[in-house]
Amino acid sequence: MLPEEALTMFREHMVEFLHGAGITDDHVLDAMERVPRHRFAPPDAGLAAYEETALVTLPGVHLPSPLFVATALQALALQPGDRVLEVGTGVGYTAAVLSTMGARVYSLELDAPALEAARDHLDALALDARLRLGDGLRGWPEQAPFDAIVLSGAVAEVPEALFTQLGPGGRLAAAVGTGQAQKLTVWTASPGGPIARVVTDVAMQRLTST
């Protein structure tokens, strides 16, 4: 394991890169500087934990790249106290960033070992998030409505069930597309139906469903 001082320095460099890449939301930048991403990365990742890349953490489970996490959360325009549903907990990094931002986090994961790892990571950092094993693409209707929903993976299209779980003015961010590259798109709930806005091109691991 690298010295904590070196890891802190590279985390600061990661945040500087994010700012240069167009992330200007101070809530996002501050949280990503505070959350030790290396705790969620494979033990042998070293400085790669703070590089602009996704990392395989468990078989079939990826740690999203820092820029995807930052871009998606910035696009959601989150405020402390917002109720946020994450679809695809993975090993808990995005949930950790959300919790550090002051969101009330609800996160669903289909892979049991990944969810257990996420619980361990969040507990070790004393971060609060409600985690549940289940198909996130069906949402968490018992806890709806949500101020925001983020899909930590790609889908061909967003299930209607998720839109119905947004509160008035709620936002949903997802990587949408059928190929290896997708469009990060944000929808805002409105009386006439969700209004979509394409943010940028992304390449994300595809979410699975039961």
pLDDT in the model for residue 148: 98
- Whether 64 is covered by a domain: the verdict is yes
53 found inside a domain: yes
Number of independent structural domains in the chain: 1
Instruction: Establish if 208 belongs to a structural domain.
Output: no
Can you give the C-alpha Rg of the chain in angstroms?
A: 16
Residue 150 belongs to domain with CATH number: 3.40.50.150
User: 119 is in which domain, residue-wise?
Assistant: 4-202
Which two tokens mark 34?
């505070």
Measured CA to CA, the distance from residue 179 to residue 202 in angstroms comes to 11
Give pTM, 2 decimals.
Answer: 0.96
Instruction: State both tokens at 75.
Output: 């696009």
Contact (Cβ atoms closer than 8 angstroms) between residue 198 and residue 183 = yes
Q: Helix count (H) and strand count (E) of the chain? A: 6, 9
Give the model confidence (pLDDT) of 65-105 as tens digits: 999 999 999 999 999 999 999 999 999 999 999 999 999 99
Two structure tokens written together for 40: 């969620």
**100-133 pLDDT tens trace:** 999 999 999 999 999 999 999 999 999 999 999 9
The pLDDT tens digits for 26-38 are 999 999 999 999 9
Q: 8 lies in a domain?
A: yes
Give 124-170 pLDDT, tens digit per residue.
999 999 999 999 999 999 999 999 999 999 999 999 999 999 999 99
- Dihedral over alpha carbons 52, 56, 62, 66 (to 10 degrees): -20
